[in-house]
Amino acid sequence: MSIRLRLTLLCTAILAMMLIAFSIASYTTVARDGFKRLVDTLESKAERIVTDPQFRLNDIEALAHQFAGPEIYVQVRNASGTIIDRTPNLGINALPVNVSTAPSSDSGSAWVDIVFMNDERRLVYNQPIANQEGDYALLQISNSLTDRDRSLSNLARVLVVGNLLTILAAFGAGWWLAGVGLRPIFRLAQAMLTIGHTRDFAQRINYTGADDEIGQLAATFDQMLAELEDVHRQTEETLQTQRRFVADASHELRTPLTTVRGNLDLLRREPPISDPDRMAVLADLVDESDRLIRMVNHLLVLARADVQPPEWQEPVSLKSVFDHVQRQVKQLAPNRTICFEPVVPESVVVRGNEDALKQVLLILLDNAVKHTPYPTQISVDSVIVDAKVQICVRDAGPGIPAEELPKIFDRFYVVDTARTQNSTGLGLAIAKTLVESQKGSLLVSSSADRGTTFKVKLSCQN
């Protein structure tokens, strides 16, 4: 059963119960008031008869023309119940006495009965009376209930027919109003179905009605669609990045593997190659193996960061980091001049991770060594700016073209493949990930023929 039908039936049922209650109350009130008026009329006539000076127990014909009529009968019984007089319009009929409803004879109270005479209901008013001689009698005045019963029957028919017509009209009006009120909800449901089939999260309800509960529901749904659109777009971008990452990783891994396979084929050749050639092939195998190891390690670092990015906020001594990096660089690039020029005090402590910061600086220095010709100088300095330590790695190499700068931190991106044969294209991506894991930032600036500067910004320890 639809909401529209349920709402219509509920409202119609409530209205029907109210109409039935009103009709019962109206019918009961009209019936009670009409009965009371008849009783009051008969009581008034009885009082007038009893108090009339012409009234005699054995002769009421003198009053018959005043009180009797086609519908009103007057009758008198003596103490023994014998009819001693009655109006001529009674004919041979007699008004009965219902002993079971009569009060005790000593009370002298009047009472009423409803009797059947000549196939009609009649109201009988019974009034005990006494004359001056002390004789007791019972004065009975009766009036027909036919007109009253007919009026009540007509009223009942009017109420039943009127209620039925009102209920039918209310059902139709309720059905129409429920349709108008639920129309925005139907649009919401239709939009949901359409979006579910088409996956088009750019659609909107664009409700133009009043700012009521339905309007708020439509606005909330539009807001949810906007958020879903953003999430869907981000998901698509993430999936596209993952596909590109897998394709790039496959391509990058294929090159060293192809080289290894080719060199192994050379070693298996018959007749065997010369010793100098064999040593060169083995050196190539070692280089390519090292490159594969570096690439796999880099991929593992990035994969772990993608799954659950770490958040490092440990106290790190810059002096300890610089001393370690300076010693390690001398071993990795003994022929290059790398000048460390820290400006910050040796006691400065930043928030982050010592090993991660060392790896970042080694990646940036290794990148500078690979991309700057010998004997170009490379420098490392640090300053404090706005409660942040800024570590700069500078080189005086050929620089990076401006159009390449936005892509410099992309995975597997290499600016000049001719000069970076041993580069995996993952170092700068790893460096940026590690810096951001320490709630810092990694920026780059470069000018053609004037060199490149990488800036690492980390918060100082309070």
> CATH number of the domain that 211 lies in?
1.10.287.130
Comparison of pLDDT for 24 and 276, the residue scoring more: 24
What was the pLDDT predicted at 417?
Answer: 47
Between CA 397 and CA 400 the distance in angstroms is 9
Between CA 105 and CA 138 the distance in angstroms is 11
| Residue 325 and residue 360 in one domain | yes
pLDDT tier for residue 418 given thresholds of 50, 70 and 90: very low
Is residue 28 domain-resident? no
pLDDT tier for residue 453 given thresholds of 50, 70 and 90: very high
pLDDT in tens, 70-105: 778 888 888 888 888 887 888 888 888 887 777 766
Average pLDDT over residues 21-43: 92
Is residue 213 domain-resident? yes
3-state secondary structure the chain: CCHHHHHHHHHHHHHHHHHHHHHHHHHHHHHHHHHHHHHHHHHHHHHHHHHCCCCECCECHHHHHHHCCCCEEEEEEECCCCEEEECHHHCCCCCCCCHHHCCCCCCCCCEEEEEEECCEEEEEEEEEEECCCCCEEEEEEEEECHHHHHHHHHHHHHHHHHHHHHHHHHHHHHHHHHHHHHHHHHHHHHHHHHHHHHCCCCCCCCCCCCCCHHHHHHHHHHHHHHHHHHHHHHHHHHHHHHHHHHHHHHHHHHHHHHHHHHHHHHHCCCCCCCHHHHHHHHHHHHHHHHHHHHHHHHHHHHHHHHHCCCCCCEEEEHHHHHHHHHHHHHHHCCCCCEEEEECCCCCCEEEECHHHHHHHHHHHHHHHHHHCCCCCCEEEEEEEECCEEEEEEEECCCCCCHHHHHHCCCCCCCCCCCCCCCCCCCHHHHHHHHHHHCCCEEEEEEECCCEEEEEEEEEECC
Residue 416 has pLDDT above 80, yes or no: no
Comparison of pLDDT for 319 and 135, the residue scoring more: 319
Residue 423 has pLDDT above 80, yes or no: no
Average pLDDT over residues 300-312: 68
Instruction: Flag the least confident range among 20-24, 30-34, 219-223.
Output: 219-223
Q: Which of 102, 128, 144 is the last residue of a domain?
A: 144
Between CA 420 and CA 430 the distance in angstroms is 17
| Residue 277 and residue 330 in one domain | no
Q: Please, are residues 122 and 142 in contact by the beta-carbon 8 Å criterion?
A: yes
| Residue 386 and residue 430 in one domain | yes
Average pLDDT over residues 346-355: 84
Q: What's the pTM?
A: 0.49
Residue 24 has pLDDT above 90, yes or no: yes
| Residue 112 and residue 138 in one domain | yes
Q: Which of 260, 286, 308 is the last residue of a domain?
A: 308
| Residue 348 and residue 455 in one domain | yes
Our CA angle for 452, 455, 456, nearest 5°, is 145
| Residue 331 and residue 449 in one domain | yes
Is residue 302 domain-resident? yes
pLDDT tier for residue 16 given thresholds of 50, 70 and 90: very high
Is residue 365 domain-resident? yes
Number of domain units in the chain: 3
User: Which of 103-107, 198-202, 206-210 has maximum average pLDDT?
Assistant: 198-202
pLDDT in tens, 139-196: 888 888 888 989 999 999 999 999 999 999 999 999 898 888 787 778 778 877 887 7
**Segments forming the whole domain that contains residue 102:** 52-144
Place of tokens 């579910």: 196
pLDDT tier for residue 419 given thresholds of 50, 70 and 90: very low
Is residue 121 domain-resident? yes
What was the pLDDT predicted at 47?
Answer: 84
